[in-house]
Structure 1
């Protein structure tokens, strides 16, 4: 090990100790990149969200990819071009300078999709929408079945131990319901939510969406993106 590398490692350890003494969180933080360009809400709103995430979660370090802005967050890569920001993001992920990244309008390959979380207007409940961007599969039914599993995984990862599943009443909902119930019968535990309608059932309508009748709302990605 060269002297320069050793110095960098020692400096990193001391930085971690200083952060731990200040935050009370020990161990290396997860470094999350955020590309600030491309959002319909504008760069300022993205920055506000990034600052809020950094403030609420002491175990993550939020760094920015985009134009220089007035913030206490670190700017890990400066660019005024959204396309270049995506290139920088991929480079940083590849070399390990960031552990994960939040971005907008990225061209995911077929088979990759994202799960979104919203606060329902009816009761202020958290609701996971599976999925909101990307394409899980070229076949609609297959995609929605995968979306359900992605939603369950995301819900459990965020602390919901036994998430309930609702299926939005879009084309293919009944076929998806049948497939998921077969999965449940064959050993993959799925907790089906009940609609607030008098006839119940796990196929959900608009009112169920507004009040968050399920922890995870399964839908096709186009509908999820609109939501």
Structure 2
């Protein structure tokens, strides 16, 4: 047992350590967030300065750069090729060397979509745009129902206990509203917002985008992507994204990594905000919260609601033959230019020809992913089947 003198000394050391931590603004372990630096249309300095600014703002944030060596005091994991960069990023996430990462050009599987964060120009309110990249579902209404859940999850992880939800007035908006109301009546908590227009309601108009009438604005990903670009670069003429926090985290069942997306035009302020966004999501336990919220939604009948939406929109097919996937292989070749509604059918066309393929979201929208050496043959097959025009687009 320690004597009185030893106890006093130990207490003294503990108090001194606490005092030093308080003086330095350190109140616990720092959150380590990665930032990949290859792939931007802007000079790398814009990304690096954004990382340095984020660290200056946040005493509990540590940023690790993943990319070419640059002049900075920040820790850098040197990588000089984009494909290798994402492999390193994923390995670091899986090994716990970073807890989240902000990146560009990252392919999420179908079912995962990102929730962006903007500051609306009308009243300066923060608003979550659900969603902005990726595809939650290949059926539009089903995707928007999932987008609403993804927005709620993200807003709650960011500290909004009961986020309000509005549905942008697009095709399928009323169908989505009915589906969400069914989910709510079955016990899943949804707090609908009211439009600022005189007729009110939870269907949002353009005015509501500017005022930020809802904490979560539900839209399809392609519309959300355009909204993000307008919100983030309307003050710069479109060439440089200066506002907001980027396109946000990939949310969806089975998504194990906290990965946030930037645009190739995202500038220093957006990079800094995105890194802080990532750190806040880690602190808010976004992955645990995601699992809990999706489980609650399932208990409220989410799957049967989505099945109903799928049946409503399903096209009759001449044949119902089951096509099995060929043996799985590494897919790093991306073929774009395919309509999101056709992406699953395009994958099946390749399977039928013995080519293993997966669906995903690439830099310009939905992509079919195949092995690098099978891209030319795959494009030929898809062009013949009418899924891509001419030689297709390879990104």
Gaps of 5+ in 1: 1-15
- Rounded to whole Å, the distance in 2 between the matches of 1:106 and 1:209 is 27
Q: CA deviation at 1:59?
A: 2.2
| Alignment correspondent of 2:29 | 28
Q: Distance in 2 between matches of 1:23 and 1:153?
A: 33
Shift of 1:56: 2.6
Which residue number in structure 2 is paired with residue 165 of structure 1? 165
Q: Secondary structure at the match of 2:128?
A: strand
Change (3 A) 1:133 1:165: same
Q: Could you tell me which residue of structure 2 aligns to residue 46 of structure 1? A: 47
| Aligned CA distance change for structure 1 residues 58 and 183 (closer, same or farther; 3 Å) | same
1:80 CA displacement: 3.1
1:67-106 equivalence runs, <5 A: 67-75=68-76, 77-106=77-106
Residue 177 of structure 1: CA displacement? 0.7
Q: Report how far residue 41 of structure 1 moved.
A: 4.4
| SS at 2:197 equivalent | coil
After TM superposition, what 4+ stretches of structure 1 lie above 4 angstroms from structure 2?
16-19
Deviations 1:53-95, CA, capped at 9 Å, x for gaps: 22233222111111222333211x2123322211211121222
Q: Could you tell me how far apart the structure 2 residues matched to 1:147 and 1:117 are?
A: 14
What is the correspondence of 1:1-227 to structure 2 with a 5 Å cutoff?
A: 20=21, 23-75=24-76, 77-227=77-227
SS in 1 for 2:130: strand
Secondary structure at the aligned position of 1:213 is classed as coil
Q: TM-score, normalised by structure 1?
A: 0.85
- Counterparts of 1:125 and 1:26, CA distance in 2: 29
| TM-score between the two structures when normalised by the length of structure 2 | 0.50
CA distance in 2, matches of 1:198, 1:17: 55
Counterpart CA distance in 1 for 2:84 and 2:212 is: 38
State the 1:17 CA deviation. 8.4
**Alignment coverage as a number of residue pairs:** 211
- Other-structure match for 2:274: none
TM-aligned CA deviation for residue 40 of structure 1: 4.1
Query: Do the aligned partners of residues 84 and 17 (structure 1) sit closer, same or farther apart at CA in structure 2, a change above 3 Å counting?
Result: farther
Change (3 A) 1:39 1:217: farther
- Tell me, what secondary structure is at the counterpart of 1:47? helix
Deviations 1:127-154 (A, max 9, x none): 1001111111122111111111111111
Deviates more, 1:53-62 or 1:200-209: 53-62
- Greater shift after overlay, 27-36 or 173-182? 27-36
Alpha-carbon separation, structure 2, partners of 1:41 and 1:166: 34
In 2, the alpha carbon distance for the partners of 1:22 and 1:123 equals: 36
Structure 2 CA distance for aligned equivalents of residues 106 and 88 of structure 1: 13
Counterpart Cα distance in 2 of 1:225 and 1:177: 21
- 5+ long unaligned stretches in structure 2: 1-16, 228-395
Deviation at 1:96, TM superposition (A): 2.1
